Amino acid sequence: DTGVSQDPRHKITKRGQNVTFRCDPISEHNRLYWYRQTLGQGPEFLTYFQNEAQLEKSRLLSDRFSAERPKGSFSTLEIQRTEQGDSAMYLCASSIRTSGVSGANVLTFGAGSRLTVL
Amino acid sequence: KQEVTQIPAALSVPEGENLVLNCSFTDSAIYNLQWFRQDPGKGLTSLLLIQSSQREQTSGRLNASLDKSSGRSTLYIAASQPGDSATYLCAVRTSNAGKSTFGDGTTLTVKP
C-alpha cells in the first residue's frame, strides 16, 4: 500500500492555459474526493466519486473544471482556461465504503498538487 | 449547511505543556468527525476518527472527544513536543456518503 499519490506535485502555468492533475487512490478504496485549499484556509470540497460514478459536485466546480474517474481507478481533475484565482493546493483523498470495518470511512489524503497561475 | 469553526487560529505553548484544541460545528446530525495534522506545504495526515456513536478516541498522546449535542469536539495533546508543531484541522461528515466539511485549523507552535 503506497498511499494516495498525486501528480504533479507542483504546476506553474500562465493564465488561460489548461492543466490536468492526476490522483491514484489506495487500491481497494472505492471512494475518491477532490478538495481545494488556499493559504490559511481549510480544504473546500470540490467533487467525489464512488467507483466510476461522480456522485456530488460543489458549486465551486465551475464549468471550467472537470473530473473523471474511468474504470473506478485513478482520477483526473482538469482546469480549462486557468485564472489567477485558481491558484491553490488541489488535494485528493480516498476512503473505503464498508460498514463494520475498523477504519472505514477514514479519509486518506495525498500530498497535494500545488497550482500557481501567473 | 454544516459550518465548522476552530478557535483559536493559532496557539503557542512551551514544550511539555498539555493543551486542548477546539472544534465546533453547527449541525449536530453528524456521521463522523476526523482530526488531521498538516505540516506546511504538505497534505493532511489523519490523527483520529470518531464515529457519531462514540464519545472519544485515543492514540498515544492524543485524545479526541465528541459531544454532538453541544456541537463540539476537542483534541487533547499531552506532554507537547516541538515535533507537534503543525496545523490541526477537524473535518465533519454529515452522512455516510459525500463530503466532509473542514474548519480552517489551529496552527500550533511548541517552543523548546
Question: Which of A105, A109, A114 is facing B44, going by the closest CB pair?
Answer: A109
**Residue with the three cell numbers 499519490:** A5
Higher pLDDT, A46 or A97: A46
Cα separations in angstroms, B93 against B3, B28, B50, B90: 11, 10, 11, 10
**pLDDT over 80 (residue B26):** yes
Closest residue by Cα to residue B8 from B104, B98, B91, B86: B104
A41, A109, A113: best to mutate for the B interface, most B CBs within 10 A:
A109
Q: Is B89 left (phi over 0), alpha (psi -120 to 50) or beta?
A: beta
Paired sense of beta strands A113-117 and A10-13, if any: parallel
pLDDT of residue A103: 55
pLDDT of residue B10: 97
Task: Please confirm whether the linkage preceding A8 is cis (ω < 30° from 0).
Answer: yes
Question: Which of A33, A50, A106 is facing B46, going by the closest CB pair?
Answer: A106
DSSP string covering B24-91, please?
EES----SEEEEEEE-TTS-EEEEEEEETT-SEEEETTEEEEEETTTTEEEEEE-S--GGG-EEEEEE
Phi then psi for residue A69, to 5 deg, are: -145, 75
> Are the Cβ atoms of B42 and A58 closer than 8 angstroms?
no
pLDDT of residue A104: 60
Question: Which of B34, B44, B98 is facing A48, going by the closest CB pair?
Answer: B98
Using a CB–CB cut-off of 8 Å, the residues of B that contact A are: 4, 31-32, 34, 36, 41-46, 49, 89, 91, 93, 96-105
pLDDT of residue A106: 86
pLDDT of residue B110: 97
Summarised one tens digit per residue, pLDDT across range B34-93 is 999 999 988 999 999 999 999 999 999 999 999 999 999 999 999 999 999 999 999 999
Summarised one tens digit per residue, pLDDT across range A55-109 is 999 988 889 999 999 988 999 999 999 999 999 999 999 998 655 555 567 899 9
- Nearest-by-CA chain B residue for A107: B46
